[in-house]
């Protein structure tokens, strides 16, 4: 059966990527169960181990959010939700980012407090298979175990996140790829205690906590921006999505269009497009021409979920390159009755 995001049918490649992403999410959850259990059993009173354990707990949130969001986005639009359930991706991203920021800030405070209080965490001994060994060695072994698989999982998820335009999956992959730093920080902290450097454990914990907080702040900024209907961005939120320029180029290729700009809203996996087109010679396009224009834009990419084509005498100020709409409004003053471009159309 063809996978769907709302009413959007996925092409064969993206359908295959979605199935693989779901399998990787379940595999991540299974791995995290073993990682969290292992770290808990050996962490003792080490702050670095506690920080690593908390990070592993938080790592459950992105894959679970992804699975829940994918389930919701399969629902068709309804009377109550005419745009479908694509925003569940944005909500899941926001939930994951908020949890990271909250716990990251708490762990930074806790780690810094331990460092300022000059706490000396003890590292005792433990009996394994009849042999007495320092408990630091099992800690290091578990940290190494928790640091390698996530890097491989993150590398596998990243191209799928770009293909599906899934920010929750991208955040999960980004956190996975950086988990080796958490493991390395924990190992350094444990080794530091063994060498008599009492502060090494707290510094390692502070490093891990700072990494959690950094991930949270970055993802929170991207999630809030998307939910505030900012211009459609790439999945990492670093640049305008190239599909916007492609939509405008395709629209201006139509024989009846003189110039055009698109206002594109990121709904999660898919985009909603408002296309403003200035007809050549001021002639009104026919209904058939408008339908053809819409179909041409939808055919560009599966992510183009919904399109509205609006003929206007002039492009709206906000869509003109290099125009500061706020400065323009201040210059004209509050009593300027001149109609805004495009607002007198449709």
Match 């087109």 to its residue by tokens.
Answer: 277
Q: Domain containing 62: what range? A: 4-227
Instruction: Decide which of 243 and 147 is more confident.
Output: 243
- Taking only the tens place, the pLDDT of each residue in 76-128 is 888 888 877 888 888 888 888 888 888 788 878 877 877 777 665 655 545 55
By the 8 A CB rule, do 96 and 62 touch? yes
Residue 313 lies in a domain: yes
CA torsion 299-302-308-311 (nearest 10°) is -40
| 140 and 181 housed in the same domain | yes
Cα 129 to the center of its chain, rounded Å: 45
Residues 80 and 27 occupy one common structural domain = yes
The whole-angstrom separation of Cα 13 and Cα 68 is: 22
Collapsing DSSP to helix, strand or coil, 69 comes out as helix
CATH code (residue 247): 3.30.300.30
If you compute the radius of gyration of the chain from its CA atoms, what whole number of angstroms results?
A: 26
Is there a single domain that holds both residue 301 and residue 277?
Answer: yes
Q: Are 240 and 175 in contact (CB under 8 A)?
A: no
- For residue 231, give the DSSP letter: B
Same domain, 252 and 218: no
- Any idea what the Cα angle at residue 55 is, between residues 51 and 59, rounded to 5°? 170
What's the rounded Cα separation, in Å, for the pair 24 and 345? 48
What would the pLDDT profile of 4-43 be if each residue is shown by its tens digit? 555 567 788 888 999 999 999 999 999 999 999 998 888 8
- Asked if residue 303 belongs to a domain, the reply is yes
SS3 call for 283: coil
Give the residue from 194, 227, 260 where a domain finishes: 227
User: In what helix (H) or strand (E) does residue 309 lie, and over which residues does it extend?
Assistant: strand 304-311
Q: Which residues of 84-99 are buried (b: 16+ CB within 10 A; e: fewer)?
A: bbbbbbbbbbbbbbbb
Least confident of 17-26, 211-220, 318-327: 318-327
Report yes or no on 236 lying in a domain: no
């Amino acid at each position: 059966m063809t996978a769907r995001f709302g009413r959007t049918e996925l092409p064969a490649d993206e359908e295959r990527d979605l199935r693989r992403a779901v399998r990787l999410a379940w595999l991540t959850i299974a791995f995290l169960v073993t990682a969290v259990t292992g770290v808990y059993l050996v962490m003792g009173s080490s702050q670095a181990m506690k920080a690593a354990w908390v990070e592993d707990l938080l790592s459950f949130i992105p894959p679970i959010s992804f699975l829940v969001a994918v389930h919701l986005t399969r629902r068709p639009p309804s009377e109550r939700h005419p745009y479908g359930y694509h925003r569940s991706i944005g909500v899941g991203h926001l939930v994951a980012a908020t949890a990271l920021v909250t716990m990251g800030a708490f762990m930074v405070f806790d780690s810094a407090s331990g460092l300022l209080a000059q706490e000396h965490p003890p590292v005792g001994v433990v009996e394994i298979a009849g042999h007495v060994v320092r408990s630091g060695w099992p800690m290091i072994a578990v940290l190494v175990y928790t640091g390698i698989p996530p890097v491989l999982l993150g590398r596998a998820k990243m191209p799928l996140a770009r293909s599906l335009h899934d920010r929750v999956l991208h955040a999960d992959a980004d956190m996975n790829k950086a988990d080796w730093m958490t493991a390395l920080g924990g190992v350094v902290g444990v080794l530091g205690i063994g060498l008599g450097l009492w502060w090494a454990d707290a510094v390692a914990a502070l490093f891990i906590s700072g990494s959690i907080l950094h991930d949270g702040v970055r993802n929170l900024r991207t999630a809030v921006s998307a939910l505030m209907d900012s211009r459609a961005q790439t999945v990492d939120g670093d640049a305008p999505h190239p599909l916007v320029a492609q939509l405008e180029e395709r629209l201006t290729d139509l024989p009846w269009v003189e110039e055009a700009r698109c206002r594109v809203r990121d709904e999660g996996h898919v985009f909603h497009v408002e296309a403003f087109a200035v007809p050549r010679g001021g002639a009104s396009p026919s209904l058939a021409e408008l339908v053809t224009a819409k179909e041409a834009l939808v055919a560009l990419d599966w992510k183009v979920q919904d399109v509205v084509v609006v003929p206007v005498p002039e492009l709206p100020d906000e869509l003109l390159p290099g125009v500061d709409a706020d400065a323009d409004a201040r210059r004209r003053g509050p009593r300027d009755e001149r109609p805004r471009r495009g607002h007198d159309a449709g």
